[in-house]
Amino acid sequence: MKNKLRVISALLCAVLIFADIGSFRGEALSFVPTAVDADGERRDIRLYSECVYMVNMDTGEVIVDINGEKEVPPASLTKLMTAVVLLDELGGDENTLKSKMMSAGTEAFDELYDTGAATADIQPNEAVSAYDLLAALLIPSACEAANIIAINVGGNIPAFVDMMNAKCTEIGLKHTHFSNAHGLFTQQNYSTAKDISTICRYALDKYPVFRELVGSPSFNMAPTDYHPEGTYIVSTDYMINEFTDYYYTNCRGIKTGTTEAAGRCFASYATRDGITYLAVTMGAPMEKLPEDIKKGEADPESMYADDVVYYNFIDHINLYEWAFDTLVQKDFINEFSEVRDVKVGYGKKRDYANLKPAGGYSRMWPANIPIDDVEKRITVRENIVAPVEEGDVLGKMELIYKGETLAEIDLISTTKVERSPVKERARITKAYFKSKLFRITGSIVLVCISLYCVLCFLIAQRKYLRKLNPSADGRYDDPFNTDNGGEE
């Protein structure tokens, strides 16, 4: 029963994440982020990451999609699903998580030895609360925390990985497969920026404790036998650390992921003026680019003077600045707009119906792009006949921008049109006289009449000739009779 409730809960969250709103079908529309340069020209913003996926968390609208469904190594973004499985199994209550103690032997540590994996200095057989393990997993990205969670929740690591992949299916991830709980590279561990976005939204929507921990720039783990004074851990997310060059006041945190194979990956969300965006980037460069080496030499105080440049953070800052400064809510159509009339056959008092949208449509839109650039393409049903009721769907409107469909909106009748039997019969009669059947029938009748007239003429002619040419025996000669009257 407990497992059934978990499945139902996951499905409901997935429905809320992906549900269409209103009586229209919305499509993903990806914008190209732009900025005004020093010359006053608007140019595309350079994004360093290979994959970029950005959504408005309030509406679910896709804002930027660059290789959003490309399957790539997710690095430590894998740990987001590890956290989800832990929370789905134990629940999100902070007290429950703090009271649940976990530990593991060397089986949680052996594969991590000499890999350079991130750690929170948890030791074999050290008893740590599930809450602190979750913090170690999400804040400094501790790989041993991932394995300890996997062993305690799943019984062993492979069984826990099966739970991770089952959760992928539950929440609708189509391009993700996990082979471990920590994200170190294997060919079978892959995901997409879009799928990682879904994991983030699932966890943020369902678990306040997740939201709290991913937004923590630092954290004090509770004292243990191995660490009597506790352990102080610091987030790898520099955008929520005010002492770094990448601090961004609107960022609320989530998680980084970095391996040589994956590049620099990052998932984050940011809020300003009541609007929230979530961005996932994957595959940013690991090494400082040559042009940025020159920037660092020119400005020793800039971030480019450091040995490492975090291009994943730069991408997120640029994405958020563009979105918050450029995107505004625009109304493209409202539900009270009358669109057009359509002809209705067999109408009793009127032969038309008024159409209006079944619902309005608005979305975040770049202020520099006129909404008049969006085409409103209307199609209506053919041969509409009465009766028509108010609310009947008689057509649709497509909103199209640069060949991409923003939305399809049903067009409904605002008019009730009753059926007229008189007009129906008249139209049927008129239609019959214009039909192919009538032409064929008429032709047959004309041919029959013509044949009848010819036959009547021949019969009359026969009678007339008999009167003019009586035979010797008192009978009239029959001009049509080839018999010689019996002569031999």
Q: For residue 415, give both structure tokens.
A: 């008019």
User: Can you tell me the distance from the alpha carbon of 158 to that of 106, in angstroms, rounded to the nearest whole number?
Assistant: 16
The residue written with tokens 């019984």 in the block is 155
51-56 and 62-66 strand pairing: antiparallel
What are residue 144's phi and psi, to 5 degrees?
A: -65, -30
Question: Treating both helix axes as pointing N-terminal to C-terminal, what angle do 78-90 and 157-170 enclose, rounded to 10 degrees?
Answer: 90
Q: Mark out the alpha helices in 255-392 (DSSP H runs).
A: 290-298, 311-326
| Residue 268 bridge partners (DSSP) | 254, 279
Q: In angstroms, rounded to a whole number, what is the distance separating the alpha carbons of residues 256 and 236? A: 6
- The CA distances from residue 361 to 63, 249, 369, 427, 482, in Å, are 16, 32, 17, 39, 91
Structure tokens at 158: 């492979």
In 358-484, where do the E strands start and end?
361-366, 375-380, 393-401, 404-413
Radius of gyration, alpha carbons of the chain: 39
Q: Could you give the CA distance from residue 56 to residue 61 in angstroms, rounded to a whole number?
A: 5
Inter-helix orientation angle 421-433/436-468, to 10°: 60
Inter-residue contact 85 to 167 (CB < 8 Å): yes
| CA nearest to 102, candidates 37, 31, 151 | 151
Contact 142, 118 (CB under 8 A): yes
Identify the DSSP state of 248: -
CB 285 within 8 A of CB 263: yes
Eight-class DSSP state of 407: E
Asked if residues 396 and 412 have their Cβ atoms less than 8 Å apart, the reply is no
Helix and strand numbers, DSSP H then E, in the chain? 12, 19
Angle formed at CA 271 by CA 365 and CA 61, multiple of 5 degrees: 35
Is 423 labeled as ligand-binding?
no
Question: Which residues are known catalytic residues?
Answer: 76, 79, 141
For residue 86, the surrounding DSSP H or E stretch is: helix 78-90
Residues of the binding site for substrate: 255
